[in-house]
Homo-oligomer: A and B are copies of this chain.
Amino acid sequence: MSDTPDSAVRTYTEQHRAAFLDDLAEWLRIPSVSAQPEHDGDVRRSAEWLSAKLAETGFPVTEIWSTPGAPAVFAEWPSDDPDAPVVLVYGHHDVQPAAREDGWDTDPFEPVIRDGRMYGRGAADDKGQVFFHTLGVRAHLAATGRSTPAVHLKLLVEGEEESGSPHFRALAEQRAARLAADVVIVSDTGMWDEDTPTVCTGMRGLAECEIELHGPGQDIHSGSFGGAVPNPATALARLVAALHDAEGRVTVPGFYDGVAELTGTERALFAELPFDEDAWLRTAASRATAGEAGYSTLERVWARPTAEVNGIGGGYQGAGSKTVIPSSALVKLSFRLVAGQDPDRVQDAVRTWAEAQVPAGIRHRITFAPATRPCLTPLDHPALQAVARAMGKAFEKKVLFTREGGSGPAADLQDVLGAPVLFLGISVPSDGWHGPNEKVELDLLLKGVETTAHLWGELAAVPR
């Protein structure tokens, strides 16, 4: 257990709040949009700004790591306790594109504070959530009287997350020795809502597959030949229709091999979350829920593997009609994976299954994109419990648990470093990630500061 006095953390945080927000605003003014080449210089400037700020914070080591794309920032603050656990914090300093015309009430790169919120691109995703670690570690030192953190602290803040992290895996592999850690803390997610502090325990993995079916050598006349040769679009539809059974389960043999089933405890804790299905459907812009029988909506998106059609196409799609049997048709499928599933085995299983669906006279081409592994930390993992305790101290509320349905580069760190990945985020769904008027709730941002101020002590106290 940590011996950090809660009140000392709070006092220190409040005292430094104004300067902390000024600094964050300064960072948000740098339009580090990694997807737009005209902002390449800004992304580099953002890395330099952060590196300087981390040095100012006290990190004895700060480095800018070049990649074939945008640079990452690395910082390290060893503990004076040689037995301290090594913690690597992950975040990113690049942001989504933003323009006033997209519906912003104010300039996206001129942050403003209004009604207890800071509005600006990157306020929540992810600069705000990276930045609470700076004041957090200072509050940790101030409240404990330490001169170095209770853990050996490392930060890795990449510059290409909003562009799909194309060089992140290679960077992690190349720098694996520098990045080595006992625990990875990812600060690029969120919590349930303003009133419900939660810790995310995992993300789904992802296997993506494109299946092309080829029939006639070119589009042929559906009058002359219709009804007498195989139609690749029809064959493709049958393949897609065969992907799920009537219970909404994926029919690919072996697909569920190894799937970590939800525990009764986790289901019960999920059920404690104040879930409003109508509100969720509005967020999903959808009219009904649907999915695997026997699971709640949250369980379906967080803890169950899926197969979804991302795109399908073939033949004539323009206005009016064209009476052809298409020469080919394709479908793009994505499979979300959960802990216990091996992406390589899933890909093999999908390939074998798909090939068996192809009728005589149709040729096929099946390709897979690089897969992302799922990651999950069990509820009873001591490091996860430490995060929950730290958050509980900051929020003074019961902390619940969530997962993320999506997939992210965090899994690469889990893979490369062999360390458990924990998620510590204070963003809320209303923060407007990727949309106009992105904001961060200042109260929650400061709770993030407090959480990390408590966390390093909590983690240092976990028996190794």
Interface size class of A (residues with CB under 8 A): 35 or more
- Residues of chain B lying within 8 A (CB to CB) of residue A281: 229
- Residues of chain B lying within 8 A (CB to CB) of residue A230: 286, 288, 290
Q: How far is the CA of A216 from the CA of B308 in the complex (A)?
A: 14
Contact (A231, B404) CB under 8 Å given A288-B361, A323-B334, A369-B320: no
A204, A218, A281, A290 interface centre (most CB from chain B within 10 Å): A290
Whether the pair B310, A312 counts as a contact (CB closer than 8 A) is no
Whether the pair A311, B286 counts as a contact (CB closer than 8 A) is no
Q: Indicate which residue in B227, B243, B308 contacts A336 across the interface (CB closer than 8 Å).
A: B227
Residue of B nearest to A216 (CB): B285
Q: How far is the CA of A427 from the CA of B61 in the complex (A)?
A: 85
Whether the pair B233, A309 counts as a contact (CB closer than 8 A) is yes
Whether the pair A300, B222 counts as a contact (CB closer than 8 A) is no
Contact (A231, B288) CB under 8 Å given A206-B223, A334-B226: no
Q: How far is the CA of A223 from the CA of B310 in the complex (A)?
A: 11
A288, A329, A336, A404 interface centre (most CB from chain B within 10 Å): A288
Whether the pair A310, B323 counts as a contact (CB closer than 8 A) is yes
Question: Quick one: which of A172-229 are within 8 Å of B by CB?
Answer: 204, 206, 208, 210, 215-218, 220-229
| A242 touches B (CB below 8 Å) | yes
Whether the pair B218, A292 counts as a contact (CB closer than 8 A) is no
| A291 touches B (CB below 8 Å) | yes
| A234 touches B (CB below 8 Å) | yes
Task: Output the least CB separation between A163 and chain B (Å).
Answer: 12
Whether the pair A313, B317 counts as a contact (CB closer than 8 A) is yes
| A392 touches B (CB below 8 Å) | no
- Residues of chain B lying within 8 A (CB to CB) of residue A17: none
Q: How far is the CA of A405 from the CA of B287 in the complex (A)?
A: 42
Q: How far is the CA of A352 from the CA of B262 in the complex (A)?
A: 41
* A 354-373 to B, binary, CB cutoff 8 A, 1 in contact else 0: 00000111110000010000
Whether the pair A406, B237 counts as a contact (CB closer than 8 A) is no
- Residues of chain B lying within 8 A (CB to CB) of residue A311: 233, 314-317, 322, 324, 326
Q: How far is the CA of A33 from the CA of B322 in the complex (A)?
A: 19
* A 119-137 to B, binary, CB cutoff 8 A, 1 in contact else 0: 0000000000000000000
| A265 touches B (CB below 8 Å) | no
- Residues of chain B lying within 8 A (CB to CB) of residue A407: 223
Q: How far is the CA of A386 from the CA of B320 in the complex (A)?
A: 40
Whether the pair A310, B316 counts as a contact (CB closer than 8 A) is yes
Whether the pair B224, A301 counts as a contact (CB closer than 8 A) is yes
Q: Indicate which residue in B216, B290, B301, B329 contacts A284 across the interface (CB closer than 8 Å).
A: B216
Task: Output the least CB separation between A216 and chain B (Å).
Answer: 4
- Residues of chain B lying within 8 A (CB to CB) of residue A362: 287-288
Q: Indicate which residue in B243, B313, B323 contacts A313 across the interface (CB closer than 8 Å).
A: B313
Task: Output the least CB separation between A144 and chain B (Å).
Answer: 38
- Residues of chain B lying within 8 A (CB to CB) of residue A363: 287
- Residues of chain B lying within 8 A (CB to CB) of residue A369: 320-321
- Residues of chain B lying within 8 A (CB to CB) of residue A228: 284, 289-291, 297, 300-301
Task: Output the least CB separation between A377 and chain B (Å).
Answer: 18
Whether the pair B241, A360 counts as a contact (CB closer than 8 A) is no
Contact (A224, B406) CB under 8 Å given A236-B237, A311-B317: yes
| A391 touches B (CB below 8 Å) | no
On A, residues with C-beta under 8 Å from B are 204, 206, 208, 210, 215-218, 220-231, 233-234, 236-244, 281, 284-292, 297, 300-301, 304-306, 308-317, 320-327, 329-332, 334, 336, 359-363, 369, 404-407
User: Can you spell out 7 A-B residue pairs with CB atoms less than 8 angstroms apart?
Assistant: A221-B406, A228-B297, A287-B362, A310-B316, A310-B321, A321-B332, A321-B334
Known interface pairs A290-B360, A310-B326, A321-B334; 18 further A-B residue pairs with C-beta atoms within 8 A, sorted by A's residue number? A215-B287, A221-B405, A222-B306, A225-B301, A227-B308, A228-B290, A233-B311, A233-B331, A234-B241, A237-B237, A238-B240, A288-B359, A288-B362, A310-B321, A310-B322, A311-B324, A312-B313, A317-B330
